[in-house]
Amino acid sequence: MHPVLKTVLGRLGLGLATLFIVSIIIFSAIEMLPGDFGQAILGQAATEETVAAFRRELGLDEPPYIRYLQWVGGAIQGDLGTSFSGRNASGTDRSREVIDLIAPRLWNTLFLASVTAIIAVPVSLFLGITSALYRNSVYDRTINTTTLTTISFPEFFVAYILILLLASLYPIFPSLANVDASTPLNERLYRSALPAFTLTLVIVAHMMRMTRAAIINLLASPYIQMARLSGASQTEVILKHALPNAWAPIATVIAFNLAYLVVGVVVVEVVFVYPGVGQLMVDAVTSRDIPVVQGCALIFAVTYILLNLIADIIGIITNPRLLHPK
């Protein structure tokens, strides 16, 4: 077997093992959430017998390991269970499949992440390369100061500042990103502008600084010195010699930040009331809708692990030295 293929298969196996451990953590953490769904629906006046019967109907009376195995077995088959949100104390069951609730929200989240990535990745690469090209110049210092300031601010603070400036004082964009399946593309882009701008400001800083650091680190290599002695210009040194060898760390940083776009949008979605998976998960936690919380957390975990695996594989393919660690 080719060593690259062997290493990639090893990473895939490690990813599956990580996902198994994460699924246990998700289930255990949700089990420890305070409150009880049956008691919340039936109210404080409900008798213990009524609450027990309601829990039995929902399957919450089973031992935790049985419910975990049922949940994982269903998830492997694409069944994340049935939401509790349609059930009520009168016995009426209007619940929906969790996958049907998550699917449109996941599309909204992926749309927001894609728009942000289309803007953020080229901008961060350009700023990182030019900052390394003009290292220690006024331009480099200005970019570094700005990105460091952006990193220091939490997402919700950046979001509220943008709402104040671009939706209140200067009403250019709407402060609420209320989109649905029937929203046209241009209108969807307009309404999603502020959430996308918020995420862009956050991840551009990380990707730009890591790109700059990766290139500057390579500029001290002997082969770079040889290229300079051969008469190559600074631009040629960076674009033709340093950048091709910096793709591995740069690709890793990009993949990590793309994973953040899907997993870390919860705060941004809540601030702008954007109908994504993050908003759905927060609502489900509030209503103690256990299957929906588990489904959203599992989607986040799969996305994060998958993108990290892709980054790891890209790093292996673009940097063969990783195949033979000392």
Does the pLDDT at position 46 exceed 80?
A: no
| The predicted structure's pLDDT at residue 71 | 85
Classify residue 255: in a domain, yes or no: yes
The count of domains in the chain is 1
Does the pLDDT at position 45 exceed 80?
A: no
Q: What is the pLDDT of residues 225-254, one digit of tens each?
A: 787 778 777 777 777 777 777 777 777 777
List % helix, strand, coil for the chain (3-state, nearest 5).
Answer: 75, 0, 25
Does the pLDDT at position 87 exceed 70?
A: no
Classify residue 37: in a domain, yes or no: no
| The predicted structure's pLDDT at residue 324 | 56
CATH number for 276: 1.10.3720.10
Tell me if 281 sits within 8 A of 102, measured CB to CB: no
Tell me if residue 97 falls in helix, strand or coil.
strand
Identify the band that residue 93 occupies on the pLDDT scale cut at 50, 70 and 90.
Answer: low
Classify residue 35: in a domain, yes or no: no
Does the pLDDT at position 325 exceed 70?
A: no
Kindly give, in sequence order, each residue whose CB lies less than 8 Å from that of residue 250, ignoring residues fewer than 6 positions away: 125, 128, 207, 210, 211, 214
Average pLDDT over residues 181-190: 87
Tell me if 209 sits within 8 A of 143, measured CB to CB: no
Does the pLDDT at position 83 exceed 60?
A: yes
| The predicted structure's pLDDT at residue 322 | 55
Kindly give, in sequence order, each residue whose CB lies less than 8 Å from that of residue 257, ignoring residues fewer than 6 positions away: 120, 203, 206, 207
Looking at per-residue confidence, does 240 or 325 come out higher? 240
Classify residue 195: in a domain, yes or no: yes
Classify residue 241: in a domain, yes or no: yes
In DSSP terms, which residues pair with 87 in a beta bridge? Answer: 93
Identify the band that residue 35 occupies on the pLDDT scale cut at 50, 70 and 90.
Answer: low
Query: Which domain covers residue 282, as residue numbers?
Result: 103-308
What is this structure's pTM? 0.80
